[in-house]
Amino acid sequence: MSGHFRPSRRAMLKVGLAGAATVASPAILRLTASAQSGPIKIGLPLALTGALGSVGQQQKRGAELYAKIQNAKGGILGRPIELLIEDTAGNPANCVRKAQEMVERRDCRLLTGITLSSEALAVVPKLAEWDSIFISSDNGDGRLTAESLVPNFFRANISGPMGTRAVSLYLRTAKLQKFYALGLDYAWGHNSVQVFEQEAVKSKKEFIGKVFAPTGTKDYSPYITKIRQSGADAVFLVLQGDDNNAFLSQAQQYRLPEKVKLLTEIVDLASIRAVGDASLGLIGSSRYSFTYDHPLNNEFVALWKKEHGTVPDTFEGEQWQCMKVFEAGIVKAGGIEAAKLRAALEDIEIESVKGKVHIRKCDHQGVQQGFMVEVVKKPGFDTPVPEVIATFPGDSTTPTCNTMTFKD
């Protein structure tokens, strides 16, 4: 692991151009005095409505519980936490506008949430001008810590390539030999399938083929037929939200799981609830699972049950961890000024609900354990739950700095 921050090629190019004075260097927005001492404002432009509203709502609940509990303890550095939560409906144009309002009008310099990767990619180039720090809690796109990396961006969550890597590591010891992949036809799907293919080839497995479906596909029968015909032992799925639910429901109706093992890049409770028993036997990586046995996680789950009467879902846990990273950084920096906070966050290490999280300096990715879970029936739960079946050390699931690829 190299210890120095390496900005992206595009960022370097821009610096070069700026040097040639052909690009306007926008005036950087400095913090006002009140923002230096008043409440600590954390802005969350979230997709609370629309197709990914379910994810945005999880992030909202995760952040809100954190703020409530931390404020009861006196906030951070004695300053109360104020959450600015706004709905973007998942539209990057709205997201940029909302984030800009948080920065320009409400003097907020800390951003998180930002549900969609397309929104995050639209926001990150603005961070320097806004003098703001953005810590991702759910963006999966590997590029954010690779070619699109900017100095003020950090990722506390497990990225798409990391999730895929966990699945791949798990498969090295599994009997399954022949694989097919089905991904959503956008960056996340393509990145993850690509990583999976490389990993499968590396571990001497057979990668038979792949297919991509556009988001919003309602009928998965052509894809299910393709998977059945491929003769694969297992299919790797990179699906989310409605598409994931539609695929799992229809795959079960076709009795696909009896013939082909379903592996998935991401397991979350919302999907399990939406498809019920159709998720049984599903194996996949988990960004966060409430069933992971760790003192801090058990404490968090208990808190959550007390507050909401249910167990926390994937992005509720991810958001909680992200807030903990923010907290640690602010405490270490002694404030929220971007330059200091950035320096503090680089190389910071905390103990969180998922175990140790270390934000490495080189690409601002949070190095953390990878989890493999299997969806099973468990007494005490009326829907299936994900059970942790393997964990992998962070060093093995995190890509080489500034890339989406892995060494071995």
Partner 1 sequence: MSTLALLLSQFVDALSQSALLFFLGVGLTLIFGLMRIVNFAHGALYMLGAFVGYSLGTWSGNYWLALAGAPLLVGLFGTAFEFSILRRLYRRDAHAFLMVTFGLALVVGEAVRLTWGSDALKVAAPPVLSGVVFLLDEPFPVYRLFLAATGIVVAVAIWQFLERSRLGLLIRATSQNADMANALGVDIKLIRSCVFGIGCGLAALGGVLAAPLVTASNGMAATVIIDAFVIVIIGGMGSFLGSLIGALLIGFVQVFGNYYAPDFALAFMYLVMLAVLVVRPGGLLGKEA
Partner 2 sequence: MRGTTRLIWIVVALALLAAPLGLPPFAMTLLTEAVILGLFAMSLDLMFGYTRLVSFGHAAAYGFGAYACGWLLLHTGMPLLFAVFAAGLLTGVMAIGVGWICTLATGVSFSMLTLAFAQLLYAISFKWTSVTGGSDGLAGIPRTIGPFGFAALSSKTGFYYLALACLVGGFLVCRALVRSPFGAVLRGIRENEAKTTALGYNTRLYKIAVVAISYGLGGLAGALYAPFAGFANTELLFWLLSGQVLIMVIVGGAGTLIGPVLGAAFFMLMEHQLSAWTEAWALYFGLIFIAFVLFAPQGIWGLATGWLQMGRSRANPRL
CB of 157 to partner 2, least distance (A): 18
| Integer CA distances (angstroms), 19 to 11, 24, 126, 292, 317, in order | 12, 10, 18, 50, 43
By a kind-dependent CB cut-off of 5 to 8 A, residue 87 interacts, out of partner 2, partner 1, none, with partner 2
Please select the residue that binds partner 2; options are 31, 77, 174, 187, rule is CB under 8 A. Answer: 187
Pairing state between β 110-111 and 81-87? unpaired
| Cα–Cα distance, 385 to 396 (Å, whole number) | 26
Question: If binding is defined by CB under 8 A, does position 100 make contact with partner 2?
Answer: yes
The smaller minimum CB distance to partner 2, of residues 33 and 72, is found at: 33
Structure-token pair, residue 172: 């090295």
The smaller minimum CB distance to partner 1, of residues 121 and 270, is found at: 270
Question: If binding is defined by CB under 8 A, does position 117 make contact with partner 2?
Answer: yes
DSSP bridge partners of 388: 373
Please select the residue that binds partner 2; options are 6, 97, 178, 358, rule is CB under 8 A. Answer: 97
Please select the residue that binds partner 2; options are 49, 177, 225, 229, rule is CB under 8 A. Answer: 49
Closest CA to 117 of 160, 69, 71: 160
Helices assigned H by DSSP within 203-333: 221-230, 241-253, 269-275, 295-308, 314-333
Question: If binding is defined by CB under 8 A, does position 7 make contact with partner 2?
Answer: no
**What amino acid occupies position 389?**
I
Please select the residue that binds partner 2; options are 61, 126, 155, 165, rule is CB under 8 A. Answer: 126
Closest CA to 41 of 94, 89, 112: 112
- Please report which helix (H) or strand (E) contains residue 264, including its range: strand 261-264
Structure-token pair, residue 63: 């952040």
Question: If binding is defined by CB under 8 A, does position 26 make contact with partner 2?
Answer: yes
Question: If binding is defined by CB under 8 A, does position 82 make contact with partner 2?
Answer: no
By a kind-dependent CB cut-off of 5 to 8 A, residue 104 interacts, out of partner 1, partner 2, none, with partner 2
By a kind-dependent CB cut-off of 5 to 8 A, residue 394 interacts, out of partner 1, partner 2, none, with none
Residues making contact with partner 1 (CB under 8 A): 48-51, 53-54, 56-57, 185, 211-214, 216-219, 221-223, 225-226, 228-229, 241-242, 245-246, 249-250, 253-255, 270-271, 273-276
Scan for tokens 């699109």, then name that residue: 148
Is 395 in contact with 408 (CB distance < 8 Å)? no
Closest CA to 273 of 354, 375, 183: 375
Question: Residues touching partner 2: how many (CB under 8 A)?
Answer: 42
Binding residues vs partner 2 (CB under 8 A)? 10, 14, 17, 21-24, 26-27, 29, 48-49, 86-89, 91-94, 96-98, 100-101, 104-105, 117-118, 121-122, 124-126, 141, 143, 148, 185-187, 190, 214
